[in-house]
């Protein structure tokens, strides 16, 4: 795992700490519908307050494209943020740089918290502009990055800023990286990857990387249809990327070469249309009627993957295994989530899951708290599973190295 400084390595007493958070949470009609990212940020804020820091929270929200847009204001996040930290006051600055931000920050006492307006109201954020990063740096003495879920973005508040102030990882960033490292960098074997989702085309890099890392790869979701089709199975009207057949065959060949066992569905739940409670039945994957589509994995497949999970010591999971938003096609995903939860709780499995749909499926099943670790990240989790360097993590590691070299002198 990349080495970086943590909150334990920095002295923040009386200092202005610029805390990069990811408050890009789902909001409907001004109300936060899932506060997970806010709640997972609180240990860092609380630790900083306890140490007597002045905490200045900054985040992006949505994609306002470099212009102020009230629809993307972070102001509605003041109350939920305050609630998550025990009702403490959160002062809002209506701009993230300049006189207004400086005024709000200058008025902070140790232990107080400010929230800056959306970073993406300035073009410099997404452009990773050094002048925008300098304008942010003027507001703080120390930089703490707790936005793992935005670490795949080389933006000013994530990349450039980390080099302008003493930088450290927050507790959520640390926890995310520790979990991911335990799952793939130095895992207890055997390792099983459970990968679902609609398309092989969007997960080619992920599958290639994972095949090189894990002992067993179990695939579900519509992407399994493409692999089945590539191997000559007729799959009726199922969602399938026929033009990806060559890529799919290459992946399967690569898995054979690397001794990675691939589990594809043996049976499937099929229906004539994707609609709630539509008539459905379970068939073997080589017996899918011409006018039907595969919408979930069947019970034999669930049993097969469950048996592999029993053998595994580590699991990394990304992607639902069926059309989980539409009952009853959530059953395969829920059955495996329960199995994973049970093995994890029995101390037999270290389980790490991430990605927007996966996290939603686990939450819907009420099982989020039963896994070893559920990431707050969507895109960043995927890019990490593709083996890519995340700019946010790289920046923290680079700044830590500068210090270590300095220390050695």
The residue whose Cβ lies closest to ligand 3PG is 24
| Block residue for tokens 């005024």 | 103
Is 146 within 8 Å of 380 (Cβ atoms)? no
Using CA atoms of 47, 49, 52, 53 in order, give the dihedral in degrees to the nearest 10.
100
**Angle made by CA atoms 346, 350, 352, in degrees to the nearest 5:** 125
Taking residues 20 to 39 in sequence order and writing x for each that binds ligand 3PG by CB under 6 A, - otherwise, the string is --x-x---------------
Could you confirm whether 409 is annotated as catalytic?
A: no
Q: Please state the closest distance from residue 247 (CB atom) to ligand 3PG, in A.
A: 25
Q: Which stretch binds Mg ion (CB under 5 A): 37-45, 168-176, 314-322, 379-387?
A: 379-387
| 328: nearest Cα among 286, 281, 264, 265 | 281
Catalytic residue of the set 37, 153, 171, 213: 37
- The whole-angstrom separation of Cα 317 and Cα 196 is 8
Binding mask 390-409 for ligand 3PG (x = CB under 6 A): --------------------
Residue in 153, 171, 203, 339 binding ligand 3PG, rule: CB under 6 A: 153
Q: Does 123 bind ligand 3PG (CB under 6 A)?
A: no
H helices present in 184-244, as ranges? 204-211, 222-230
299 contacts Mg ion (rule: CB under 5 A): no
**Residue span binding ligand 3PG (CB under 6 A) among the ranges 26-34, 48-56, 66-74, 148-156:** 148-156
What is the Cα–Cα distance from 317 to 331, expressed in whole angstroms?
16
379 as an active site residue: the answer is: yes
Interface residue with Mg ion among 379, 387, 388, 394 (CB under 5 A) is 379
SS3 state at 96: coil
Beta-carbon count within 10 A of 385 CB: 24
Residue among 348, 356, 387, 388 flagged as catalytic? 356
Q: Answer yes or no: are the C-beta atoms of 37 and 25 closer than 8 Å.
A: yes
Q: Which of 74, 85, 150, 159 binds ligand 3PG (CB under 6 A)?
A: 150
Catalytic residue status for 199: yes
Residues identified as active-site: 37, 199, 356, 379
Q: Which residues bind Mg ion (CB under 5 A)?
A: 379
């Amino acid at each position: 795992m990349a080495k970086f400084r943590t909150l334990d390595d920095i002295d923040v007493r009386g200092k202005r700490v610029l805390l990069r958070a990811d408050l890009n949470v789902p909001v409907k009609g001004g109300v936060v519908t899932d506060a997970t990212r806010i709640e997972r940020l609180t240990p860092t804020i609380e630790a900083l307050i306890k140490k007597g820091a002045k905490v200045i929270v900054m985040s992006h929200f949505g994609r306002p494209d470099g212009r102020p847009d009230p629809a993307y204001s972070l102001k509605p996040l003041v109350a939920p943020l305050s609630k998550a930290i025990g009702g403490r006051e959160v002062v809002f600055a209506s701009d993230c740089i300049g006189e207004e931000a400086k005024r709000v920050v200058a008025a902070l006492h140790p232990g107080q918290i400010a929230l800056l307006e959306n970073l993406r109201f300035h073009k410099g954020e997404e452009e990773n502009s050094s002048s925008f990063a300098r304008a942010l740096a003027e507001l703080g003495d120390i930089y703490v990055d707790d936005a793992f879920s935005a670490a795949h973005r080389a933006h000013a508040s994530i990349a450039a800023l980390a080099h302008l102030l003493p930088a450290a990882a927050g507790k959520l960033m640390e926890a995310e990286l520790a979990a991911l490292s335990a799952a793939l960098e130095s895992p207890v074997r055997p390792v099983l990857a459970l990968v679902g989702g609609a398309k092989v085309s969007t997960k080619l890099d992920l599958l290639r990387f994972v095949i090189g890392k894990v002992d067993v790869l179990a695939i579900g979701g519509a992407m399994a249809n493409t692999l089945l089709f590539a191997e000559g199975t007729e799959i009726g009207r199922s969602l399938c990327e026929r033009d990806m057949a060559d890529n799919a065959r290459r992946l399967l060949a690569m898995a054979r070469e690397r001794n990675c066992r691939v589990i594809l569905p043996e049976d499937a739940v099929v229906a004539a249309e994707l609609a709630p409670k539509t008539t459905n039945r379970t068939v073997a994957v080589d017996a899918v009627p011409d006018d039907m589509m595969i919408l979930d994995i069947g019970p034999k497949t669930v049993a097969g993957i469950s048996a592999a999970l029993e053998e595994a010591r580590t699991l990394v999971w990304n992607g639902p295994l069926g059309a989980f938003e539409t009952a009853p096609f959530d059953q395969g995903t829920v059955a495996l989530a329960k199995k994973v939860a049970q093995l994890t709780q029995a101390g037999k499995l270290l389980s790490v899951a991430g990605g927007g749909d996966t996290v939603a499926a686990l939450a819907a099943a009420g099982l989020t708290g039963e896994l070893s670790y559920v990431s707050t990240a969507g895109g960043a989790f995927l890019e990490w599973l593709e083996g890519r360097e995340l700019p946010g993590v790289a920046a923290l590691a680079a700044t830590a190295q500068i210090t270590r070299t300095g220390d050695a002198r």
